[in-house]
Amino acid sequence: MDTGANGILVVAVGGNALAADPTTSTMADQLAAVQDAARHLVELESRGWRVVVTHGNGPQIGALLRQNELAAETVPPMTLDFCGAATQGSIGYLLETALNNELRRRGRDTVAVSVVTQVEVDRGDPAFQRPSKPIGAFMSEHEAEHARSQLGWDVVEDSGRGYRRVVASPEPTAIVQRGVVRSLLDAGYLVIAAGGGGVPMVRGADGELAGVEAVIDKDLASAVLASDIGADILLILTSVPQVALGFGTPDQRWLPTLDATTALTHLEAGEFPEGSMGPKVASAVQFTRAGGRRAVVTDLDSAEAALEGRAGTEFVR
249 and 152 inside one domain? no
What's the confidence (pLDDT) of residue 14?
A: 84
Confidence of residue 73 (pLDDT cuts 50, 70, 90): confident
Give ∠ CA 289-177-134 in degrees, rounded to 5. Answer: 70
Is residue 208 in some structural domain? yes
What's the confidence (pLDDT) of residue 1?
A: 47
Whether the per-residue pLDDT at 293 is higher than 50: the answer is: yes
Looking at the structure of the chain, the number of domains it has is 2
| Mean pLDDT within 167-182 | 97
Which H or E run includes 91? helix 80-105
The amino acid that residue 135 corresponds to is I
CATH of the domain at 200: 3.40.1160.10
In which domain, by residue range, is 160 found?
131-167
154 and 300 inside one domain? no
Confidence of residue 23 (pLDDT cuts 50, 70, 90): low
Is residue 260 in some structural domain? yes
Q: Are strands 112-114 and 190-192 parallel, antiparallel or unpaired?
A: parallel
Is residue 1 in some structural domain? no
Which range, of 20-24, 45-49, 104-108, 265-269, averages the lowest pLDDT? 20-24
What's the confidence (pLDDT) of residue 230?
A: 97
Confidence of residue 22 (pLDDT cuts 50, 70, 90): low
24 and 147 inside one domain? no
Whether the per-residue pLDDT at 290 is higher than 90: the answer is: yes
Is residue 94 in some structural domain? yes
Whether the per-residue pLDDT at 25 is higher than 80: the answer is: no
| Mean pLDDT within 93-106 | 97
285 and 140 inside one domain? no
| Mean pLDDT within 301-307 | 96
Is residue 103 in some structural domain? yes
112 and 190 inside one domain? yes
210 and 238 inside one domain? yes
Strand partners, 51: 9
87 and 34 inside one domain? yes
The residue out of 139, 167, 195 marking a domain boundary is 167
| Mean pLDDT within 107-135 | 96
The residue out of 143, 167, 191 marking a domain boundary is 167
180 and 216 inside one domain? yes
181 and 162 inside one domain? no
180 and 276 inside one domain? yes
Q: Which residues are catalytic?
A: 15-16, 133, 218, 280
What's the confidence (pLDDT) of residue 66?
A: 85
Tell me the longest C-alpha to C-alpha distance in the chain. 58
pLDDT in tens, 142-164: 999 988 998 889 999 987 789 99
E strands, the chain, in order: 7-13, 49-55, 112-114, 118-121, 133-139, 154-157, 163-167, 172-175, 190-192, 199-203, 209-211, 233-238, 243-245, 253-255, 257-259, 294-299, 313-316
Is residue 2 in some structural domain? no
| Mean pLDDT within 87-92 | 95
- Per cent of the chain over pLDDT 70 is 95
Which range, of 10-24, 115-129, 297-311, averages the lowest pLDDT? 10-24
Q: Are strands 257-259 and 243-245 parallel, antiparallel or unpaired?
A: unpaired
Helix ranges (H only) for 106-174 are: 141-151
